[in-house]
Amino acid sequence: MTAQTARVSRPARRLTTAITRDREMVQAAQRLRYRVFSEEYGSDLGATTPGIDADQFDPICDHLMVTDAGSGELVATTRVLRDDAARQGGGFYSEGEFDLSRIHSLPGTVAELGRTCVHPDYRNGATISLLWAALAEYLVLHRVDYLIGCASIGMADGGHKAWKIARFLQREYLAADAFRVIPKRELPHLTDAGSDERAMEVPALIKAYMRLGARVCGEPCWDPEFRCADLLVLLEVNKLAARYSRHFMRQDPGAPAQI
């Protein structure tokens, strides 16, 4: 008698997106952020409520959410702080790390992307693409000209990897002088960091930023709370629209996607 192997297929996941300031949905984003940043990566978030990553910027940000329609679970999130709200709220998050004088002098509107994270079970191209699709539509809707954000590199090895990645990105993706920033806490220079990039792995999120057309705006900053090196990255939204809007706008980001 011949044994037969049964094939079990996993039901397709249906993902939906939303942009919200709803308190309960924002709390779901804060719980996911805590799970990823604190529990998974060991960042010291200074959480005042157990299991919640919250700060003073959350109430004035728009939160982009990707949800599994089948389970109702939040699987990815990021937040956007527009310059009009930042002015009322005391500035951008990244102003705690960088001198943004040149960014503030740019013509047009600026928005800041932050706290981007994805549930470990959903870290695939489909989830990220859906998040970027919602973001692209948001930027066009609100006529944002420049998007900035801190791209983080872990410091578990004391900074050797961070310096290699920073040097590589500065060589290949450095922004023009008009977009340069100065870190307020310089990353300690390592004389033995080396230049061998064969074993260097650029974080997936930074790769995604660069594929979208982003550029790094100068030297890295040391972030002791998140125990990482941060590079400020900047995306000119008109270049994003030229390269990716046709792809992103192909379907309504609010419609379910299957993975």
* pLDDT number for residue 138: 94
Q: 195 or 95, which is more confident?
A: 95
> How does residue 253 score in pLDDT terms, banded at 50, 70 and 90?
very low
pLDDT digits over 202-230, tens only? 887 888 888 888 999 999 999 888 788 99
Q: 143 or 247, which is more confident?
A: 143
Residue 50 has pLDDT above 70, yes or no: yes
Q: Which of 115-119, 158-162, 251-255 has the highest mean pLDDT?
A: 115-119
Average pLDDT value over all residues in the chain: 85
Q: What Å distances lie between residue 164 and 177, 238, 253, CA to CA?
A: 22, 30, 36
Q: 8 or 101, which is more confident?
A: 101
- Taking the mean position of all CA atoms in its chain, how far away is CA 17? 16
Question: Quick one: which of 125, 240, 124, 101 has its CA closest to 177?
Answer: 101
Dist CA 42 CA 154 (whole Å): 10
Q: 171 or 1, which is more confident?
A: 171
Residues found in the chain = 259
| Identity of the residue numbered 123 | R
Q: What domains can you pick out in the chain, each with its CATH number?
A: 14-258 (3.40.630.30)
Tell me which DSSP letter residue 95 carries.
G
- 154 CB-near residues (< 8 Å, 6+ apart): 41, 161, 162, 203, 227, 228
